[in-house]
Chains A and B, each alone.
Chain A
Amino acid sequence: MIRLTNLTKHYQSGDETVAALRGVSLAIAAGEFVTIMGQSGSGKSTLLSILGGMNHPTTGEVEMAGVRLYDLSGEKLADFRSQNLGFVFQSFHLIPYLTALENVMLPLAITALKREAKFEAARRALDQVGLGAKLDRLPNQLSGGEQERVAIARAIVNRPKILLADEPTGNLDTRLSEEVMALFRTLNEDGQTVVMVTHNPDNCAYADRTITLRDGLIVPNAELPTARLMATA
């Protein structure tokens, strides 16, 4: 499903070249729930942005759903994101002047679907995250947890092959974090591939696998609780 081969990413900071990733190779199977852990500056956000087709690696290859991602031109890459990827951002990044329903419909705005089909898909996604009764609320009329759910509904509305999440619980309290993680787990159990960057080790308990990054490299044999390990226990 996802195959990363010897990825490197260097940034230029003044005269200095900073290596954010220093040869990451990784395979994620379809339907897998993977969390990526690591301290600030470990390269996990860079890895996620490369997975999202938004950040060209310096070297290495990214193959996703049978497509070599960075062989695609800019507009084709945008089309790939639209058709295959869903994003959940740490700060939700809902569009403040659109209602919950309109925010969820946003990825469908550039599709050829009819108005009714767009509406139905968005309503279904909001139902799935438990917000079917708050379609017409603006983001500032929703709680933090509800905004996160709208962001998740927006990410899954076009039924993406891969759901990418960047610190989705970073702005939520413990109870809301658990609710949101349970929702991700439910989506994954329904067959959704999930790749999530997180600081919180507790979130790893919901994943099938956790990858730990340190200084731009994957830490081998890092032991963290995962859903599969917990189930075995």
Chain B
Amino acid sequence: MKLHNISLNNLRRRKAKMAFLTIGLMVGIATIVTLVTLTRSMAGDIERKMDEFGANILITPRSNDLAMSYGGISLGGISFDQREIREADLALIHTIENNRNISAVSPKVLGGIKAGGRDALLVGVDFESELRMKQWWEIFGAAPQGDGEVLLGSDAARSLEVMAGDEVVLNGETFRVAGVLAQTGSQDDALVFAPLKKAQMLLGKEGRITLVEVAALCSGCPIGDMVVQIAEKLPDAKVSAIQQVVESRLHALDQFRRFALGVAAVVVFIGALIVFVTMMGSVNERTTEIGVFRAIGFRQSHIMRIILLEALLVSLLAGLLGYAAGMGAAKLALPVMTQGSTAQLVWDPAVAAGSVTLALLVGLLASLYPARHASRLDPTEALRAL
């Protein structure tokens, strides 16, 4: 017979009350686990989706611009000392410290060409990365598969009077129109997209790049740091963050976190209240018993140990069950919350450890006052008979 035998026997005897206490705390922990896991899983999903909406870092050749005005009249500006990005240097982007956060790198070469006797703007792209980055593109026809195929913006196709499957002559060379973009409302509508190598050849810019769009895949990752890191690797390039995309991304994630934090705080409070009320009730029911313990020589610390050990065991069980239930609920809720997207459930051991720790912390803290109250009961009054 040791003190823990008293705690264990009491838990066994008061199964219904202890089950209520366990369930109360377990529901709280499960809610938090569900919220945290859902938030993290959804944040990851949103992040991926937002990354799909476009680039958040732009790399252009460095040049010195001079704004010209005279007598209050703007005469436009000129660029001089124009440098260029070499295609061979693009590999350096993947060597930055935060390279794991790079989702896609889409180099482009731009230039004017003659298309079917009209002037047009040709953009050479790497179709694989371009299509990954611009998943909102809707193509009538198909994406170009080889060097002999191009993709036209809707306005360009209308202007050149061609459709998917037709042929178009660019600077004297014939290409098959693999597909035509649906109206995007952006500059893409007026462009002719060709494979990067072919476009470089047509424009006489072999091995050179006009601009690079980079999509950084991260949750609040240091875009600013990445910009600096890329700039260090490409000294002849001007690297800038597309701030609006970054900020909206961070804002969306921040809102999710705040929501989860708020709900978690309320749930923890309710859980603590349940533990407090139940433990206090349990102590009041056991007044005589505690009086006997004190009368036969138990110290106040012995009484506290008995009560806190009970709280610890219940909290431990609630933490473990709460984690399991929370993950189960998150697994069921995730497809509903993300409306059938491919969001992945995040299994993080830290959440498991955190939920058990939180349960223990809430259980013990909420039981501290009842335990102290029990330990300070006057044995004479507790027994009344004496």
Q: Which residues of A contact B (CB under 8 A)?
A: 45, 48-49, 52, 54-55, 74-75, 78-83, 85-87, 89-91, 93, 95-98, 102, 105-110, 115, 118, 122, 154, 166-167
Please name all residues of chain B whose beta carbon is closer than 8 Å to the beta carbon of A55 when the two chains form the complex. Answer: 380, 386
B385 A105 Cβ-Cβ under 8 A: no
Once the chains are docked, how many angstroms separate the CA of A189 from the CA of B210?
A: 111
A54 B386 Cβ-Cβ under 8 A: yes
- Nearest chain B residue, comparing its CB with the CB of A99: B9
Query: Given A49-B380, A54-B380, A106-B1, are A74 and B385 neighbors across the interface (CB < 8 Å)?
Result: no
Please name all residues of chain A whose beta carbon is closer than 8 Å to the beta carbon of B298 when the two chains form the complex. Answer: 78, 82, 110
Query: Given A48-B386, A89-B292, are A108 and B1 neighbors across the interface (CB < 8 Å)?
Result: yes
A166 B385 Cβ-Cβ under 8 A: yes
Once the chains are docked, how many angstroms separate the CA of A49 from the CA of B292?
A: 13
B13 A52 Cβ-Cβ under 8 A: no
26 pairs from A and B in contact (CB 8 Å cutoff): A49-B386, A54-B294, A55-B386, A74-B300, A75-B299, A75-B300, A78-B299, A78-B300, A81-B295, A87-B292, A87-B296, A89-B295, A89-B385, A89-B386, A93-B288, A95-B6, A95-B289, A98-B6, A98-B9, A109-B2, A109-B3, A118-B1, A122-B1, A154-B296, A166-B385, A167-B385
B258 interface residue per 8 A CB criterion: no
User: Pick the contact of A87 from B12, B295, B301 — CB < 8 Å?
Assistant: B295
0/1 interface trace, chain B 1-21, chain A, CB 8 Å (1 if under): 111011001101100000000
B297 interface residue per 8 A CB criterion: yes
B10 A97 Cβ-Cβ under 8 A: yes
Please name all residues of chain B whose beta carbon is closer than 8 Å to the beta carbon of A93 when the two chains form the complex. Answer: 288-289, 291-292, 383, 385
Please name all residues of chain A whose beta carbon is closer than 8 Å to the beta carbon of B288 when the two chains form the complex. Answer: 93
Q: Which residues of B contact A (CB under 8 A)?
A: 1-3, 5-6, 9-10, 12-13, 288-289, 291-302, 378-380, 383, 385-386
- Nearest chain A residue, comparing its CB with the CB of B1: A105
Q: How many residue pairs bridge A and B at CB < 8 Å?
A: 92
- Nearest chain A residue, comparing its CB with the CB of B298: A110
Once the chains are docked, how many angstroms separate the CA of A39 from the CA of B340?
A: 81
Closest beta carbon of chain A to B273's beta carbon, Å: 27
Closest beta carbon of chain A to B11's beta carbon, Å: 9
Closest beta carbon of chain A to B305's beta carbon, Å: 10
User: Pick the contact of A82 from B13, B297, B379 — CB < 8 Å?
Assistant: B297
Please name all residues of chain A whose beta carbon is closer than 8 Å to the beta carbon of B294 when the two chains form the complex. Answer: 54, 78
Query: Given A97-B9, A109-B5, are A90 and B385 neighbors across the interface (CB < 8 Å)?
Result: yes
User: Pick the contact of A109 from B1, B301, B380 — CB < 8 Å?
Assistant: B1
Closest 6 CB pairs of A and B: A82-B297, A97-B13, A105-B1, A81-B297, A49-B386, A107-B296
Closest beta carbon of chain A to B240's beta carbon, Å: 70
- Nearest chain B residue, comparing its CB with the CB of A197: B386
Please name all residues of chain B whose beta carbon is closer than 8 Å to the beta carbon of A118 when the two chains form the complex. Answer: 1
Please name all residues of chain B whose beta carbon is closer than 8 Å to the beta carbon of A82 when the two chains form the complex. Answer: 296-298
Query: Given A89-B385, A93-B292, A95-B289, are A110 and B297 neighbors across the interface (CB < 8 Å)?
Result: yes
User: Pick the contact of A110 from B3, B10, B380, B386 — CB < 8 Å?
Assistant: B3
Please name all residues of chain B whose beta carbon is closer than 8 Å to the beta carbon of A96 when the two chains form the complex. Answer: 13
- Nearest chain B residue, comparing its CB with the CB of A98: B9
- Nearest chain B residue, comparing its CB with the CB of A118: B1
Please name all residues of chain B whose beta carbon is closer than 8 Å to the beta carbon of A166 when the two chains form the complex. Answer: 385-386
Task: Name which of B9, B302, B383 has the most chain A CB atoms within 10 A of its CB.
Answer: B383
Once the chains are docked, how many angstroms separate the CA of A83 from the CA of B297?
A: 8
Once the chains are docked, how many angstroms separate the CA of A2 from the CA of B380?
A: 20
Please name all residues of chain B whose beta carbon is closer than 8 Å to the beta carbon of A45 when the two chains form the complex. Answer: 385-386
Closest beta carbon of chain B to A164's beta carbon, Å: 9
Once the chains are docked, how many angstroms separate the CA of A75 from the CA of B303?
A: 12
Please name all residues of chain A whose beta carbon is closer than 8 Å to the beta carbon of B296 when the two chains form the complex. Answer: 81-82, 86-87, 106-107, 154
Closest beta carbon of chain A to B338's beta carbon, Å: 49
Once the chains are docked, how many angstroms separate the CA of A173 from the CA of B3?
A: 35
Please name all residues of chain A whose beta carbon is closer than 8 Å to the beta carbon of B299 when the two chains form the complex. Answer: 75, 78-79, 110
Once the chains are docked, how many angstroms separate the CA of A48 from the CA of B291?
A: 15
- Nearest chain B residue, comparing its CB with the CB of A109: B1
Once the chains are docked, how many angstroms separate the CA of A81 from the CA of B300?
A: 13
**Given A106-B293, A110-B3, 10 other A-B residues pairs in contact with their CB atoms under 8 A:** A78-B298, A79-B299, A80-B297, A89-B386, A90-B385, A95-B292, A97-B10, A106-B292, A109-B6, A110-B298
